[in-house]
Amino acid sequence: MKGLKKLSLLVAIVTMTFAVTIAAEANKADKNSKEVKAEEKGIQFTEAKWAEILKRAKAENKIIFFDAYTTWCGPCKMMQKNVFTRDDVAAVFNKDFINVKYDMESGEGLKLASKYPLEAYPTLFFIDAKGKVIKQVIGYQTPEKLIDLGKSVQKKSPKAI
């Protein structure tokens, strides 16, 4: 009888451990799913070489929205967290622009920094398919200001690229 109780207790412990492990994995999967959904929100930035971005702008007849940032820039981080992630901002920029961002201190950003000189970070450029700057704005922009900026650029250059 004693052996049966020990066996029952062991089975119960193994079952509980198994259940806790399954619950933890399900929670982890749910958390990862939420993180992916959060990343999908906001402005969708294209990762490609600059030459490819220009070709795409020409093919799609769109203006390029270019966020020139650095990894150490506080206002850049704030825009990434509080402005670019908003649905109202994304509605304007995902529809009307090809969105790109480059760290201006590494990779292709170094080359672009010589082509598009910077005075401060962040610098936001609106560029046509030929690589010509239509508008340049320096510094942190509120969501409302950024939306207004995007709309004003579209009105001034309605598909005139």
As a whole number of angstroms, the distance between CA 103 and CA 149 comes to 22
Per-residue pLDDT tens digits for 68-110: 999 999 999 999 999 999 999 999 999 999 999 999 999 999 9
Residue 2 confidence class, pLDDT cut points 50, 70, 90: low
Phi/psi of residue 96, nearest 5 degrees: -105, -10
At residue 22, the pLDDT reads: 53
Residue 62 confidence class, pLDDT cut points 50, 70, 90: very high
Contact 68, 110 (CB under 8 A): no
Structure tokens at 158: 């309605």
pTM exceeding the 0.85 threshold for the entire prediction = no
Residue 8 confidence class, pLDDT cut points 50, 70, 90: low
As a whole number of angstroms, the distance between CA 77 and CA 79 comes to 5
Residue 35 confidence class, pLDDT cut points 50, 70, 90: very low
Bridge partners of 66, per DSSP, are: 100, 125
What is residue 47's DSSP assignment?
Answer: -
Q: Which of 4, 9, 126 is nearest to 63 (CA)?
A: 126
Average per-residue pLDDT in the chain? 83
At residue 25, the pLDDT reads: 56
As a whole number of angstroms, the distance between CA 154 and CA 128 comes to 11
Residue 59 confidence class, pLDDT cut points 50, 70, 90: very high
At residue 49, the pLDDT reads: 96
Instruction: Read off the pLDDT of each residue in 139-159 and give the average, rounded to a whole number.
Output: 89
- As a whole number of Å, the CA-based R_g of the chain is 24
CA 160 to chain centre: 27
